[in-house]
Chain A
Amino acid sequence: MPRVLLIEDDPSIREGVGLGLRRRGHDVSSAETGEEGLALMGGFRPELVLLDLMLPGINGVQVCRRIRETSQVPIIMLTARGDDFDIVVGLEAGADDYIVKPARTEVIEARIKAVLRRLSDPVGTRPGVEQHGELTIDRAGLSVAKSGERVPLAPSEIKLLLHLSASPEQVFSRQQLLEYVWDHSYHADARLVDACVRRLRTKVEDPDASPRYIQTVRGFGYRFGPL
């Protein structure tokens, strides 16, 4: 079962969520602070990080950025939903999803599974390497290179890119992307899509030009190309 690193300063949540997930067969390791969590990354090698946004010392957003520097491990933010701002900041820092506190273990587990499924079940059946302009997308190896140079992408980013590029020029609504990429059939939140598209663009698009690969279709959603 997946190894989950839980970084959460509040003992009741840490213990409660830890207990719930362990009962469902997850291998959970918990950390009280961001520093402790970062230290555990190497030894524990988690397959997923559950990260609280409000932490003593370095906060969740900073922890998220640090993890993203070295790893493409999926990250789910645990957040106080009241703060729309926090959600967006967390997502822009590189988180793949967010969970609003308080949440039942079944919700947490469903989100964890959805995030992990993204990588084990790539979109489309076409194997091999595709070339789109300067982008090289390796569907089997789950890697993306721009002008021959590898682009490190978070799981949600690569999943989104794979999904869009599987059907070039087809327009997907935010809702469709949420359902395909995030499995969010129950909670429509376009911010996830928008934040992910923004992050993806900073990595694959030319900074000066208008978006070339991931284009906005105003009023409908996004599409890949035409190049």
Chain B
Amino acid sequence: MRRIAPLGLRTRLIAAFLLVAAISAVTTAALTYQQARNAILKQTQDTAISTLRDQVEQQEFRLPLDQAELQRIVIELGKRGKPHPWIIFGEYGSVRVSTNPGTPTSSVITDNLREKVRRHDYTAFQRVEDARGNPWLTIGVPALFEHNGFSESTGAVFYASVPLSTEKQTVEAMVDAAKQGAVPGLAIAIVPALLAARSVLRPVRDMRRAAQHLGRGRLDTRIEVRGADELAGLARTFNETARALEQSVSELQDAEIRARRFASDVSHELRTPLAGMLAVTEVLDEDAERLDADTAKALRLVSAETGKLAVLVEDLMEISRFDARAAELNLDDVDIAEAVRKTLERRHWVDDRIVAELPDQVRARLDPRRFDVVLANLVGNALRHGGAPVRITVRTAPGEGGERLLIEVADSGPGIAPEVLPHIFDRFFKADAARTRSAGSGLGLAITLENVRLHGGTLLAANGSAGGAVFTLDMPLEARV
């Protein structure tokens, strides 16, 4: 199942896009704002300071100043406010006047500014805000007089309060413009972000789907290559890989089909002459008695080998049917205890070499013929390669997807050598390489395993704790076709 991550590729791409857009918008706006604000304020400030200083210098007055004289100068200065009308305050000793007679002092002129002006006899300025938050530029200019090339303080100081509300409005308008520009900008940035995400994600999605199809065995899956970017290159590489894979798989399949058909055809072709030969082997056996020893021996040999060949060909046919997946189950309801007893009876294994623990009332749905082959092979092997007594245990156990039928066939022989164990179900595997052909075809266990698999079961070979080989059959109680 596809897990929908809280932060999918699309989300991350869009977030990254918006972040980049936001950072660039904010940075640009901030820099522009700062530069513009400084430029505007500096210009206003410079003009106001130089205007006030010039005006103060041009004023002629006699010392000491009285209230009326100071008031006159202040009003005179007040008329010349540039670039904005300003409010002028005059201070001379304890005399304080202003252009607004009601307010001889201003709250916006700070002690700090006064201190600076008085100490250095020099023009000073400060940007302040009044109680209502309006920005002001306050300038303090001391009135000096020239005396033998020296400037000396007259003791009079003129202050101007220039309202910066216009500048503030301008700056605010700029901030608003930046804000109003950034938000739609960010909104608009979503569109290219979506497009970019889509252009990246669609090939990725296509590729994921194609890879899934490929994994399910649809090797003819290809991706449409769009454009010439890296993703297109990736798609092209994917297609080439899929094509190469398809080709080699189809070559392998062809080779496998040929090999399988060859085995099947050979077996088939062998069957016809064998059918004729096998029909007359008894004639040979009977007549051998009346012939001389050598001829009799030769005839019996031919007869015996013909029989073995017939079994081998039959087993080969069976194996090639499994390989071609042509083997099918003919299911029937079977009493297991009864079926096991029948298998043993048919092979005349009813003496004390076999100990069978058969529970009553176990019914299973399986292919009786194949079950007979499986059991006969396991018991026959145990008798031939292991040793008596052979113990057969039948039981059922609950498992995944329903009840399981468990059958154990254990012999009392020396067990299976560890190096043999992994190959025990291989075709034509000979446990002892030096041993000549045994009675079996070498396909018995391979066929047994295929029959068990056909029922949806497994077959395990191991050595028991008390020595001796143990084959464990585990298959569903109800096999399904």
Contact = CB atoms under 8 A, between A and B. Distances in A.
A102 B313 contact: yes
A81 B317 contact: yes
A66 interface: no
Interface in B379-419: none
Interface string A187-200: 11111000000000
B275 A103 contact: yes
Nearest to A84: B328
Interface in B254-285: 264, 268, 271-283
Contacts of B314: 81, 100
Counting chain A residues whose Cβ lies within 8 A of the other chain, the interface size class is: 20 to 34
Contact of A188 (B274, B310, B368): B368
Contact of A189 (B275, B328, B346, B369): B369
B271 A187 contact: no
A17 interface: yes
| Smallest CB-CB A-B distances: 6 pairs | A12-B276, A16-B276, A102-B275, A16-B279, A219-B333, A102-B274
Contacts of B313: 102
A13 B286 CA distance: 19
26 contacts: A10-B275, A10-B276, A12-B273, A12-B275, A12-B276, A12-B277, A13-B272, A13-B275, A13-B276, A13-B279, A16-B275, A16-B279, A19-B279, A19-B283, A23-B283, A80-B268, A82-B317, A82-B326, A101-B271, A101-B274, A102-B271, A102-B276, A102-B278, A103-B278, A174-B332, A175-B368
Q: DSSP class of B's interface residues: helix, strand, loop or mixed?
A: helix
Count class of interface residues, chain B: 35 or more
A134 interface: no
Contacts of A10: 272, 275-276
Interface of B: 264, 268, 271-283, 286, 307, 310, 313-314, 317, 321, 326, 328, 330, 332-334, 338, 342, 346, 363, 365, 368-369, 372
Contacts of A82: 264, 268, 317, 321, 326
Nearest to B328: A84
Contacts of B283: 19-20, 23, 105
Nearest to A83: B326
B272 A12 contact: yes
A64 interface: no
A208 B223 CA distance: 55
Most buried by B among A19, A20, A101: A101
Contacts of A15: 276
A126 interface: no
B342 A175 contact: yes
Contacts of A104: 278-279, 281-282, 307
Interface string A1-41: 00000000011111111011001000000000000000000
A191 B330 contact: yes
B287 to A, nearest CB: 10
A108 interface: yes
